Structure 1
Amino acid sequence: MRAAVQKLQLGEGGAIAAFVVPVLVVIVVFPLTFILLQAIFPNLGAGSLAEPFSRLADTFSDPRIGRWTLNTIMLGSAVVFTAALVAVPLGVLRGLFRVPLAGLWDVMFLIPFAIPPYIAALGWIMTLQPRGYLDQMTGINLGQFLFSFWGVVFVMTLNVFPVVYFAVSRTMATIGGRYVEAARVAGANPTIAFFRITLPLATPAIAASLLLVFAMAIEEFGTPAALAARSGFLVLVTGIEQKLSDYPIDLPGAALLSTILVGLAMCAFALQAWVVTRRDFRTLSGKPKTGDLTPLGNWTVPVVGFFALIAFLGAIVPVAAVFLTASTRTISGGLAWDNFSTIHFEAILANRGGAMQALQTSLGLGLTAAALTGIIGTLTAYVVVRHKSLASRMLDFLTLAPNTIPGIVVAVGLILAWTQPWLPFTPYNTIWVLVLAYCCLLLPYPVRYANAALRQIGTSLEDAARVSGANAFVAFVRIIVPLISPSVIAAMLLVFAVAARELVATILLAPIGTRTVALFIWRQFEQGSVGLGMAMSTIAIAITMTIPILVTLWMQRADNQPG
């Protein structure tokens, strides 16, 4: 790693590289190293390095491993395909055309990230299962579809498609329609101009966001466990959970399975790198003006209908299911007037079980994680894009690796790393270990988004600033940051939404007495108080969406400013 720092420092922005590398070592390398050590040395938890690789043969001789791996690849690929099918057209339309209620759709598409995946899955179960809300209202029973492979793909796609939507829409807005207009002047029709100019320029954003979707799909635990496990469709993460929950706990086996997930992510990373390095996607221009957006004309009604359908499925249905469950006295009572009640919301507002403290803690953790990952991710992406070297590609993959490992394994890595007796100080058993966990897990969002935005910006603007007397840091802050800020802010909103409701790592790492929204909901479910847990989910969704709404309105107002 020291050699990598020295190599990166040879070029411009060496100070940025010198800052980024140690930070990534602390946030990412340190805990992941102990996961690898645990996979190699099965007795590491007992402080022994004896019998290295002794569990390798036992673990990989399990015939279920191959089936779990194949299922994981199938699930990740299917979610990538369906997310691209849904989100790429949405992003193109949002970025290039005057879509009515554009700000509203942005907010609606943030809602899936404010809903924990396990809550969304439970919401769909309450809606589509036999005697579910859809069955009660229409007599239609879609339980067989929901508890199937494509049912899992359907629910997971609705959870993750905003990653692609925001990346593509912000990139398309940056590109604008002026290149298509230039091509039209040269004689090209709109279709040829789009596929020959606009779409290739957006390739880095599309590839980066789909890579994130694949990584999220193969590491997601809640949805496959809730929906697919009933039909016997198990994936690597559910296998890891078995090894960590069934007695005796097989920590080395879980670590070894995690290395398979990392290997799958490396293959996806290599494919993305091959796609984005085949051509030069840089442009010289920055933020487009409002006038760049093209009217939809006769396509207005179908486009609005498309946006409304996805918003209905991705946001309204799961939120409505959560709200209905929170508003009923008992689940068995169904949708009957005498079963509706506000008792669960009253209990939350009365601070039952420390509900209000949980909300405050989660909001603070979400904002802190969003700010830190936004800064670190932007600086890391700048080093990766501007320094064409093996060391920079290593950094790029390093920021992706945590997103391919289940949160429970990352949490174990943090425990192993920060409980070593030789450390002079440790954040373990403090609130800062949660910040480290969230930064480790969510850093890929701002890095991928900033990386895609930076690949569209040539170096000529920075060169001009340097000729005018600005140093590299000033050029970065005054030129690069404003140009990529829409993409970075979109990523930070996603980080905030995910961090504010993160569950798995929080369960293992939260200090004694710490209350978060996810912990509160989980404990209510364990105690059988599903209505109370859903009430907290409803309030948390409403509160955590307030900041994204305000930021989106501010960004929309800034976009409409003249100049």
Structure 2
Amino acid sequence: MADIAAAMPGERRPVPAFRLGPETLVLGILALFVATISLAPLGRLALTAIAPEGVLDLERAWSVLARPRVFTAAMNSLYVALASTLFAVVLGSIAALLTVHSNMRFKAAWVFGFVLPLLIPPQVTALAWVQAFSPSSPVLGFFGLALTPGTRHPLYSAGGIIFLLGIYNAPLVFLTMRAALRRLPANLSEAARASGAGNFQLIFTILLPLARSGLYAGAAIAFVSAIGNFGIQAMLGIPARFPTLITLIYQQLNSYGPASLSDMASLSLLLSLMTVLALGLSGWLGGRGDVRVEEGGRAVEINLGRGRPLVEAGAWLYLAATLLLPVSALVATSLVRGFGQELGWETLTLTNYANALLYHASVRDAFTTSLVLTVSAVVLLSAISLVLAYFISWRKSLFVRLIQLAAELSYVLPGLILGVAMILFFLRPLPLLGFSIYGTVWIILAAYLANFLALALRPMLGGFAQIDRSMEDAARVAGAGFFQRMRDIILPMLAPAVIAGGIIVFMSALNEIQVSILLVSSSARTIGPMIIFLEEGGSSTLAAAVGCLMILIVLVLMCTASLFAGRLPKGALPWRD
């Protein structure tokens, strides 16, 4: 009777209690994770900059930013970032036009070589170029072009920093421009051809104007990368006494320690504002005017005609100059007993490699620490990004979008800023635990998770965009729970994307320096900053050996990933079509 009465019209059924389902619980954990490793440290950074004593104090922040050396460093940062971005835009645009629209041969191999410098740690790139122009350079010495001993090194200057940053960031512009050019329909170019347009007229009146969104996006990414590139600015700028904001933060923190954190927070906030303004300007420029076109169709081919051999020779000569010259000098330096010796049978030795791998305790420990941290980051981020990509792709909401933006923020900002934020947030003992992770490997792992989450997400999102959701829906209807669907349906279909994301994160984290340079300690060192420590300590040959090992690891990983390229989502590997 009670059941019948409960069901009678006019009677209210009891409202069921709120149930916290697995999906809601997992999404809450993801939000808490991203907030802890990204939003909270960056928020603490901003708060320390404007309220160092807990009370709003803009006057103190202004007193730090108004110092003459800070103004000089800020202007230098803007100068090298803008000039190198312009250089990178020219190089990257030419490379994109050649590989998308020309009939140049062996494009895949050339793209592999063009993108390679982007995946080599910037401190290794700088070290290789420094040794390439040294008096003992094997290549320049062979042609009689080596500098005489005592000559000022040409790369220890603002021009040297601009040159290397431009070469290093050109692949970033290339990747965005190549994607934009491939989306252009062929009918517009064919109509221009029918109207009598030549190659240059076609490029400057059709292709580049329509692909300007990719151009502005590439320029913004190159600018952000350049202004926050610690490896090149430190290796070249510190010896040249050419201060930039990022080297000023590093030197100040090394000189004064945690006592200078409030000042470093103000400098980091200034660097962050420059980065955000550059991204905002790029978005505004890219959105001006309506250049929408229908996508699809093959790219129009620009026939190089009789000039093709000359263009191809120039393209391969560029790779020889930007890859073989510095790498050969690095290898030669790693194979001699003392810096400055010419490579020969009498001076040839593998001692530097033996020391790096077996006998030099600090280098060996740095390799071990980096490997453990990198593998840990890959495992954790693979699982986290797979689940987060599921919500972003198939459970879209404003809350999920905010989590994604928070994850991307830590990747967009210069790594050194994230390092300062991590120090500020984790310097004090953790609540409930009563101890601090500052000066341990755990703070480096937290920084890796924050910095590379967005990087791990990209292949996952591409993978979700290419698979059918019907199987997951069928499993849900059949009663499969969230974790069962993720294990039996999603993970098998997304396995290639998981592998691609893991490889990219592994390559980025193993040799990373931008974030960890401020977080390493005597008991927790990684291999990325070791290059700078060895070079500053006068162990140039050992530094060269470590740099060669880093390049070898990158090449092995790139080749391994290329073997599985056919099973990976399109665009997962930046050096593959």
TM bucket (normalised to shorter chain) is: 0.7 to 0.9
**Kindly tell me: are residues 525 and 72 of structure 1, through their superposed partners in 2, closer, same or farther at Cα, counting changes over 3 Å?**
closer
Letter in 1 for 2:68: P
Which of 215, 223, 232 in structure 2 is aligned with 1:214?
A: 223
Contact 1:95 1:171 in 2 (8 A): no
Partner of 1:156: 165
- Report the counterpart of residue 186 of structure 2 in structure 1: 180
Q: Does 1:122 align with 2:127?
A: yes
Deviations 1:247-267 (A, max 9, x none): 475221111011111111121
Q: Is the 8 A contact 2:374 2:506 kept in 1?
A: yes
Q: Which residue of 2 aligns with 1:64?
A: 69
Q: Does 1:543 align with 2:543?
A: no
State the Cα deviation string for residues 517-546 of structure 1 (Å, max 9, x = none): 225545544554322222122122112221
Question: Partners in 2 of 1:396 and 1:231 — Cα distance?
Answer: 38
Runs (5+) with no aligned partner, structure 2:
1-22, 477-481, 571-577
Choose from 109, 115, 121 the match for 2:114. 109
Between the aligned partners of 1:89 and 1:449, the Cα distance in structure 2 is 27
| Cα offset, 1:169, TM superposition | 3.1
Where do residues 20-59 of structure 1 align in structure 2 (5 Å cutoff)? 21-42=31-52, 49=54, 52-53=57-58, 55-59=60-64
8 Å contact 2:531–2:547 — kept in the other structure?
yes
2:96 is aligned, of 56, 78, 91, to 91
Distance 1:205 1:396, change over 3 A: farther
Kept after mapping to 1: 8 A contact 2:192/2:202: no
Aligned to 1:499: 509
How far the C-alpha of 1:327 sits from its partner, in A, is: 0.5
The root-mean-square deviation of aligned C-alpha atoms, in Å, is 4.9
Q: Distance in 1 between matches of 2:260 and 2:336?
A: 41
SS at match of 1:246: helix
Q: Deviations over 1:235-281 (max 9, x none)?
A: 21122223212347522111101111111112111112213434475
Q: Secondary structure in 1 aligned to 2:346? A: helix
Which residue pairs with 2:287 in the alignment?
Answer: 277
- Distance, in Å, in 2 between the alignment partners of 1:197 and 1:491 is 35
Return the TM-score normalized by structure 2. 0.73
Of 57-66 and 530-539, deviating more is 57-66
Opposite residue 260 of structure 1, the aligned amino acid is: L
CA distance in 1, matches of 2:154, 2:557: 35
Deviates more, 1:393-402 or 1:233-242: 393-402
Q: Partner of 1:414: helix, strand, or coil?
A: helix
Partner of 1:3: none
Which one of 332, 336, 340 corresponds to residue 332 of structure 1?
Answer: 340
Q: 1:399 to 1:327 in 2, by over 3 A?
A: same
Q: Give runs of aligned pairs for residues 348-359 of structure 1, distance below 5 A.
A: 348-350=356-358, 352-353=360-361, 358-359=366-367
After alignment, is 270-279 or 537-546 more displaced?
A: 270-279
Q: Does 1:310 find its partner at 2:318? A: yes
Offset at 1:550? 2.4
2-structure distance, mates of 1:55, 1:300: 61
Query: In the alignment, does 2:262 pair up with 1:252?
Result: yes
Q: Deviations over 1:40-86 (max 9, x none)?
A: 3435xxxxx36845632431331222222222111111111000110
Cα distance change, pair 145–387 in 1 and its aligned pair in 2 (3 A): farther
**Counterpart-to-counterpart distance in 1, 2:292 and 2:25:** 26
Match of 1:322 in 2: 330
TM-fit CA distance, 1:218? 1.1
Q: How is 1:457-536 mapped onto 2 (pairs within 5 angstroms)?
A: 495-503=505-513, 505-509=515-519, 514=524, 516-518=526-528, 520-525=530-535, 527-536=537-546
Q: Which segment drifts farther, 13-22 or 78-87?
A: 13-22
Q: How many residues were matched structurally?
A: 525
User: For 1:55, what is the secondary structure of its paired residue?
Assistant: helix
User: How far, CA to CA, are the matches of 1:100 and 1:360 in structure 2?
Assistant: 42
CA distance in 2, matches of 1:397, 1:519: 27
Between the aligned partners of 1:296 and 1:304, the Cα distance in structure 2 is 13
Distance, in Å, in 2 between the alignment partners of 1:117 and 1:37 is 31
- Residue pairs, 1:219-238, within 5 angstroms: 219-238=228-247
Equivalent residues in 2 for 1:417-432 (5 A)? 417-421=425-429, 423-424=431-432, 428=437, 431-432=441-442
Gaps (5+ residues) in structure 1? 1-12, 44-48
Tell me the distance in 1 between the aligned counterparts of 2:410 and 2:544. 32
- One-letter code aligned to 1:238: T
After TM superposition, give the deviation of residue 32 of structure 1 in Å. 0.9
SS at match of 1:338: coil
Deviates more, 1:264-273 or 1:218-227: 218-227
What's the CA shift for 1:219? 1.6
The answer to which of 518-527 and 67-76 deviates more is 518-527
Alignment of 1:414 with 2:422, yes or no, is: yes
Give the Cα–Cα distance (whole angstroms) in 2 for the partners of residues 224 and 415 of structure 1.
22
Following TM superposition, by how much is the alpha carbon of 1:368 offset from its aligned partner in structure 2, in angstroms? 5.8
Amino acid of the structure 2 residue aligned with 1:304: E
SS of the aligned residue for 1:146 comes to coil
Percent of residue pairs identical:
23
Q: Look up the SS of the partner of 2:564 in the other structure.
A: helix
Q: 2:145: which partner in 1?
A: 139
Shift of 1:223: 2.4
Residue 166 in 1 paired to residue 175 in 2? yes
Distance 1:144 1:359 in 2: 30
- Indicate the SS of the match to 2:124: helix
Distance in 1 between residues matched to 2:391 and 2:315, nearest whole Å: 33
C-alpha deviation, 1:213, in angstroms: 1.4
Relative distance call for 1:400 and 1:195 in structure 2 (3 A) is farther
TM superposition score normalised by structure 1: 0.74
